[in-house]
């Protein structure tokens, strides 16, 4: 089956509809679900990676997961800050065996796969070897609480467009898909920008294809899935702007900023040297930190952050966060 859309919401809507109408009942260890096998998702505009709906408004945890990847860390607490249920994937030592960051950046084996594919594409622009391996044969040995769902990422440079094809052994349409597509298309855009800088050629963001072996919707999420469908069709306009050129040094600064926001250290962005693109995303993360505090002063600061955003498309997300904070306080 192939599902195509210009936005993540079009992809999710069509996927849920297909699973509810054509999915077959499967009962693996993680719970009964409806499953389709061998599904290809084709996101025509990778910039349109953020859902505009109330049900799937996951910008904050998506940014958290991206920063976790780029930090090269496997420490679970980085993600439990955004998604408390992530504790179920942590081993007794607080690490997540299936974490993608160490596999992408070579935290433990010194093989930086991200840099390898960028260098390879610079040398051989038509190569079919620019592949990042996530799933490893060793993942099937011994008992682990988390095994990567992603098998590989293949980057293809064609006619100065960088395409990305991701293969997944397994994907949960309601909880995992939005995070995976967000993070992988952000990596795709970073690689395209890095190639543009190194090759002195305008490399544009190409299409994104996401192939899933077992594509499923858990029974426990069916009610929420129906709620998502009932929200109707949101705007197809992209929330994300094009990523400005950024180096590995910039990435280090982004990771440092995210950590300081998470720790409550970074509260002011006036002297931040990053571009407004990243500063706005940092302000969104600061708003999430304040949301967790749920104090009157936190509400006021979220409102101030919202008014200071340069990317107007991010404002509705912070408005929804502010409304939720008021309800819960």
What pLDDT does 267 receive? 86
Cα separation of 71 and 281, whole Å?
A: 17
What pLDDT does 326 receive? 60
Asked whether the predicted pLDDT for residue 224 surpasses 50, the reply is yes
The pLDDT tens digits of the residues spanning 39-53 come to: 999 999 999 999 888
Let me know: does 113 contact 132? Beta carbons within 8 Å. Answer: yes
The pLDDT tens digits of the residues spanning 147-199 come to: 999 999 999 999 999 999 999 999 999 999 999 999 999 999 999 999 999 99
Cα separation of 93 and 185, whole Å?
A: 31
Helical H segments across 200-247, by residue range: 222-230
Neighbours of 150 (CB within 10 A): 23
Cα separation of 312 and 284, whole Å?
A: 12
Asked whether the predicted pLDDT for residue 296 surpasses 50, the reply is yes
Cα separation of 173 and 247, whole Å?
A: 32
- Residue identified by tokens 């069509």 is 14
- Residue identified by tokens 């919401």 is 9
- Concatenating the DSSP letter of every residue in 145-212 gives S---SEEEEEEEEETTEEEEEEEEEEEETTTTHHHHHHHHHHHHHHHHHHHHHHHTS-PEEEEEEEEE
Phi, psi of 168 (to 5 degrees): -120, 135
Asked whether the predicted pLDDT for residue 329 surpasses 50, the reply is no
Asked whether the predicted pLDDT for residue 293 surpasses 90, the reply is no
| Eight-class DSSP state of 137 | G
The pLDDT tens digits of the residues spanning 238-263 come to: 789 999 988 888 999 999 999 999 99
* Sign of the torsion formed by the C-alpha atoms of 106, 110, 113 and 118: positive
Let me know: does 19 contact 1? Beta carbons within 8 Å. Answer: no
Let me know: does 49 contact 182? Beta carbons within 8 Å. Answer: yes
Q: How many residues does the chain have?
A: 329
For residue 4, the surrounding DSSP H or E stretch is strand 2-5
Cα separation of 211 and 155, whole Å?
A: 14
| DSSP-derived 3-state class of residue 97 | coil
Let me know: does 44 contact 2? Beta carbons within 8 Å. Answer: no
pTM: 0.95
* Sign of the torsion formed by the C-alpha atoms of 35, 69, 268 and 193: negative
Cα separation of 269 and 257, whole Å?
A: 10
Asked whether the predicted pLDDT for residue 328 surpasses 60, the reply is no
What is the percent of the chain where pLDDT is above 70?
A: 98
Neighbours of 175 (CB within 10 A): 18
Cα-based distances in Å from 301 to 171, 201, 294, 296, 321: 37, 42, 11, 9, 12
Question: 271 or 17, which is more confident?
Answer: 17
| Eight-class DSSP state of 138 | G
Let me know: does 192 contact 204? Beta carbons within 8 Å. Answer: yes
The pLDDT tens digits of the residues spanning 2-38 come to: 999 999 999 999 999 999 999 999 998 889 999 999 9
What is the percent of the chain where pLDDT is above 90?
A: 82
- Across the chain, what does the average pLDDT equal? 94
Phi, psi of 19 (to 5 degrees): -65, -40
Let me know: does 40 contact 210? Beta carbons within 8 Å. Answer: yes
What pLDDT does 236 receive? 63
């Amino acid at each position: 089956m192939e599902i195509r859309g210009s936005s993540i919401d079009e992809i999710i809507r069509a996927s849920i509809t297909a699973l509810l109408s054509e999915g077959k009942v499967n009962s693996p260890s993680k719970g009964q679900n409806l499953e389709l096998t061998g599904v290809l998702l084709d996101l025509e505009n990778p910039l349109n990676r953020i859902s505009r709906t109330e049900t799937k408004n996951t910008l904050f945890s998506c940014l958290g997961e991206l920063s976790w990847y780029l930090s090269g860390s496997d420490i679970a607490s980085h993600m439990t800050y955004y998604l408390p249920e992530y504790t179920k994937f942590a081993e007794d030592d607080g690490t997540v065996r299936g974490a993608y960051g160490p596999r992408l950046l070579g935290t433990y084996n010194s093989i930086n796969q991200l840099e390898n594919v960028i260098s390879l594409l610079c040398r051989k622009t038509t190569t079919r070897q620019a592949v990042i391996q996530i799933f490893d044969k060793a993942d099937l040995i011994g008992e682990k609480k988390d095994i990567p769902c992603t098998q590989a990422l293949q980057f293809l440079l064609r006619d100065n467009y960088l395409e990305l094809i991701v293969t997944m052994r397994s994907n949960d349409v309601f909880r995992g898909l939005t995070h995976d597509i967000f993070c992988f298309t952000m990596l795709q855009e970073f690689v395209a920008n890095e190639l543009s800088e190194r090759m002195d050629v305008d490399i544009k963001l190409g299409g994104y294809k996401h192939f899933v072996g077992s594509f499923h919707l858990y029974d426990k999420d069916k009610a929420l899935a129906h709620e998502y469908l009932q929200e109707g069709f949101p705007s197809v306009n992209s929330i994300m702007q094009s990523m400005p050129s950024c180096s590995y040094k910039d990435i280090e600064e982004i990771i440092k900023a995210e950590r300081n926001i998470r720790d409550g250290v970074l509260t002011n962005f006036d002297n931040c040297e990053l571009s407004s693109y990243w500063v706005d995303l940092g302000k969104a993360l600061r708003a999430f930190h304040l949301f967790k505090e749920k104090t009157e002063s936190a509400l006021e600061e979220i409102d101030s952050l919202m008014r200071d955003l340069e990317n107007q498309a991010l404002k509705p997300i912070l408005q929804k966060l502010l409304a939720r904070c008021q309800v819960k306080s």
